[in-house]
Amino acid sequence: MIGLGPIEATLLPARAPTLMLIRYGFIVPVTTAAMILIVVPRLAERVTRRHPQEWVLITSALVFAGVGSMGVVVLRSGGFEHHLYGAFAYMLSAVFIYLALRLRFTYATLLGWSTYLLSVAIIVGLGGASLVTMMLMFSFCFVANLLGMFGCYLVDRFARQHYLALQHLELERGRVERLLLNILPGPIARRLKDTGRPIADGHDEVTVLFADIVGFTELSQRLDPAALVAVLNRLFSSFDELCERHGVEKIKTIGDAYMAAAGLPTPRPDHAEAIARVALEMRALVERFAAADAPGERVQLRVGIHSGPVVAGVIGAKKFIYDLWGDTVNTASRMESHALSGQIQVSEDARARLEREFVLRERGVVDVKGKGPMRVYWLEGARA
């Protein structure tokens, strides 16, 4: 609209001052104020962000009211060329309304036809145009509205489809993210997504736990497969909740055995204490399960704990898991396999980290497979 000033000055020299007054005294200030309200973050947050489409609609209605006033000034000059100029200006306005403003189809249609009816009222009210001229103008502007509606509908439909596709993509991305976080620790999952390369980290201070449900094999022989899986799922889900509550990382399950570790992937000074609390609560949970759901069955938990350095990471390209390697892992496994049913056996290294906060009882020296004689301890409970 600003670029039409020179044309108006040439075509309508007598009316140019009035047109400039309407344009620069009303239309430009209204448009500028609306842009400031929409673009400036603080103002947009307070005023326009909740209903941006409505603000654009109101601003556009004011602007086109000003344009209508300019139309009155132009058409009062009479002459076919002035009516032709008005029709041309309206067609440009229709393109702006239906395509440039990016209004919703309903709002754009409302504004477009309101502007059309306003134009018809102005032309008919002022008179001065022949019937042929008016019919041509009304026809061209009518067709411009229909074409604008069609274009706006296509743009609006594409925008909605694009938005829905993005929402669906975001939903799927969230599902993949949650699935990945169920398989891998958060920091490891993010690194794997960012790099896609194998991950292997050394951790100097980690405590590893192995737990085995003793008597579960005999119990499984008396349960049908569905009931067996349901029982195991309930127990291991409870173990998972314990690990999450204490900030311990579940590593994996193998049959009826459960492996967890603390101190990785994010180091923590109380890794041994966290594992000890989880082990004690695991044992109590299995005892409650045996009393309530398996009376008469000798279902107990056997746990082994050891502290030391490990290598942790993710390798392979398919069915990858976060796993641990090293002598600490082997020793923790041996602590479990050489423990007694219903007991939590800890190594000397783990005892040194636990004795200040937990009650431990020396079991003595045990000949551990692959390790030789080792002094081991029973974890009895937390100190009062």
From first to last of the 384 residues of the chain, give the pLDDT tens digit.
555 666 666 666 777 777 777 777 777 777 777 777 777 777 666 666 677 777 777 777 777 777 767 766 666 666 666 666 667 777 777 887 887 778 888 888 888 888 888 877 877 777 666 777 778 778 888 888 888 888 888 888 888 899 899 999 999 888 877 877 777 777 887 777 777 777 888 999 999 999 998 887 777 777 788 888 888 888 899 999 999 999 999 999 888 899 999 999 889 999 999 999 999 999 999 988 887 776 666 788 999 999 999 999 887 767 778 889 999 999 999 999 999 999 999 999 999 999 999 999 999 999 988 889 999 999 998 987
Q: What six digits make up the tokens of 234?
A: 């309930």
CA dihedral 80, 85, 90, 93 (to 10 degrees): 180
Interatomic CA distance for residues 287 and 281, integer angstroms: 10
Domains of the chain are: 2-172 (no CATH), 196-382 (3.30.70.1230)
3-state secondary structure of 360: strand
* pTM (two decimals): 0.61
Inter-CA distances, 322 with 173, 232, 250, Å = 21, 22, 9
pLDDT for the residue 113: 87
Three-state SS string over 175-224 comes to HHHHHHHHHCCHHHHHHHHHHCCCEEEEEEEEEEEEEEEECHHHHHCCCC
Residue 285's pLDDT is what?
A: 92
Q: What CA–CA distance (Å, rounded) separates 172 from 177?
A: 8
Per-residue tokens: 269: 């000074």
- Contact predicate 98/108, CB 8 Å: yes
**DSSP structure string for 75-113:** HTT-SHHHHHHHHHHHHHHHHIIIIIS---HHHHHHHHH
Rg of the chain over Cα atoms, rounded to whole angstroms, equals: 39
Are 219 and 297 in contact by the 8 Å Cβ rule? The answer is yes
CA-nearest of 370, 324, 328, 379 to 349 is 328
Is 320 in a helix, a strand, or coil? coil
CB atoms within 10 A of CB 5: 14
**Cα 347 from chain centroid?**
43
Q: Give whole-number Cα distances, 85 to 55, 77, 354, in Å.
A: 29, 12, 91
